[in-house]
A = this chain, B = another copy of it.
Amino acid sequence: MARVVVDVMLKPEILDPQGQAVQRALPRLGFEGIADVRQGKRFELEVEGPVDDAALARIHEMAETFLANTVIEDFTVRVDEAARAES
């Protein structure tokens, strides 16, 4: 079983209040030197069968139509080679 990771992040031009809240809290907690924080979502998909180009194309379509809101979010799809090596 292979693992495919889909990362979904707000587009750079979209305001990210969650990330801002984290960034503003950091100095109060003693952590300096972080200029910006963006918070997004990470999906780990366990894929049955081979992760070939066709499977990745389907996962790309799934991410585009379902996991991400492409009006405000960007996403990346990649195979988690570390998880593949373990299995």
Contacts of A62 in B (CB 8 A): 26, 29, 31
Does chain B have a CB within 8 A of A42?
yes
| A interface residue count range (under 10 / 10 to 19 / 20 to 34 / 35 or more) | 20 to 34
* B43 close to A58 (CB less than 8 A): no
Please judge, given known A-B contacts A25-B66, A26-B62, whether A43 and B31 are in contact too, CB under 8 Å: no
* B44 close to A41 (CB less than 8 A): no
* A41 close to B40 (CB less than 8 A): yes
Determine the distance from Cα of A41 to Cα of B22 in the docked complex, in whole angstroms: 13
Chain A interfacial positions (CB closer than 8 Å to B): 1, 7-9, 19, 22, 25-26, 29, 31, 33-49, 55, 58, 62, 65-67
